[in-house]
Structure 1
Amino acid sequence: MRVLYIGGTGIISSACVEESVRQEHEVFLLNRGSSKRYLPPPGVTVITGDVRGEQASLRAALVAHAPFDAIADFITFTPEDLEARLALLDGLTEQFVFISSASCYQKPPKCYLITEETPLENPHWQYSRDKIACEQLLERQSKQAYTVVRPSLTYGHANLPLVLNSWAHPWTVVERMLAGKPVIIPGDGTSLWTNTWNGDFAKGFVGLLGRSEVYGEAFHITSDEVLCWNQLFQTVADALGVAPDFVHIPSDFCMSLYPDWEGTLIGDKVNSVVLDNSKLKRFVPRYKAEVVWAEGVRRSLEWFKADPTRQTTDPEVNARQDAVIAAFRR
């Protein structure tokens, strides 16, 4: 199978590229070639170009390698971008795979158990509303066969996804724990959540490629391990061998100081969310998420410790944590 990944160097997409290679697909990447952290596996063809740049020459480069059995787009976030992407790829693939987000599901949820039939409605996060609009655009158009995939919080070696941590510098909260500094856990920490190892996600994702029976369908792909935020944070502290200073602070209080936290808090992570993977398993029966959170944390911390230059921290996140904790304690 011939698969083109648009992007292909991120936490999720790089794992999907590697899984496609393992399954002996002919793999192509379209990106700007600027990633310093991730090098594609041998045998992958890289088409260098900017999907937001000049379209005619980019289209010619893609046509030279077409057709593709599937094209997976990891870097489209707005309906305007999606319209341009569909025009660029017109006639080049049988299946277009759009990467949406599980944050699109109804917030706050009326039921903790989320299926693909749960309404898409998130008044708290523009990112999610844009992804919803993209899905609606795909439904309206009739020319391109498509499949929608909705990842939830997915991580790999280079990322530890803890709420109110830095996505670009995930060592930030780890450093706070090691230094004995207080760390915010929003609310009482008992809301349910799932973090998914990127290699597990990739197995489910690649299983959907090149299959006509999934055209017009949407899937989320997550682990089946469900933990509360207290457990997620405590697992990291246990792996570090520290006694953490966790401070439980209501989300509304956090947002009163930093309103831009609305999306990641009440628009996403402080809701109890359990994603039912039954639909995915009907189409990909062999799918099983094998890496539990404790193992993923161990792998990630080993990766960071192997090279101290990776242990970067985010001054703004540190300043925000300190400011919110100080205000709350007052």
Structure 2
Amino acid sequence: MAPQVGDIKWSISTGGEIWSSPIVGTNNTIFVSSTDGNLFALNSDGTVRWSYQTGGELFSTPAIGADGTVYVGDAKKKLFAISSSGKIKWTYYVGSDVHSSPAIAEDGTVYVGAWNGSLYAINGNGTLKWMYRTGANILSSSPAIGDDGTVYIGSWDGRLYAISPKGKILWSYLADSKIDTSPSLSDNGTLYFGSNKGTLYAIDSQDKGKLQWKYIIGSRIHSTPAVAKEGTVYVGAKDGKLYAINSDGKLAWTYDTGDIITSSASISTDGTIVIGSWNGNLYALNSNGSVKWERALKSSIIGSPIIGLEDTVYVGCTDWKLYAIGKK
């Protein structure tokens, strides 16, 4: 479900801006990273369970392994593995800034992209399995992992790469410009991603990246596409609009927030779409594009909201705060 009202249940101040997205782990623990270098683990009431100082700015959204280990990269060229109790397990020196968020395969391999243009595969013990270098920088495109273990990631060379679990390139798809978005992989194998020129692509991951369709928005896409159960794709753009694209690539509707959207949409089980904007507003939209509610948080929302237990939405802002939104 999604919250039926947009009340502020609580907020907590970190020591820096929040550019990343929070995640919810076991026992409803909320993890969020901050540009002051702290990774926070919070209880569901907003109290701090623990925090870990990495020493570098954190733009990366944390990822949680099957054993509760939390992985996050920082702007001082390191990937961290932190236990569920907040103790450091290991660090891996990537050698380049990490803004991309890690992704974890079923075998425990941690994949992460770095500013030097490389995709790293790190074993669960913190040793390097392999590295694949793309043709340009990787900023915020984070890996997506297919059921067969194939890893997909975008690069500033304009290519979306499909890399085997052994680090070999399977294929790549050349878009019209740099790729900052993370690819989204649907249940039917379609990969969705956007380009900096504002084109949304749908390609077939099972057919060497064959183009299924593309929709030209014409404004930079930094938002990762979100795919609803019935196949509608939701993506935000620099022009401030959220676009709803049908599964055949036709526009269903748009909603104009009036300011830049880098946030990716979260879709609740009842189809409610929740998204943030640089204008500081958090929006809950019905599947037809009408507004269910909106909440002014008065500071830019750069990262994405997530929907947790008890229909609560968690979202970070540039005012150094993480907010819990729902029914008080």
TM over 0.5: no
Q: Whose strand fraction is larger, Structure 1's or Structure 2's?
A: 2
TM-score, structure 2 as length reference? 0.28
Structure label with greater radius of gyration: 1
TM-score, structure 1 as length reference? 0.28
| Higher relative contact order structure (alpha carbons within 8 Å, sequence separation ≥ 6) | 1
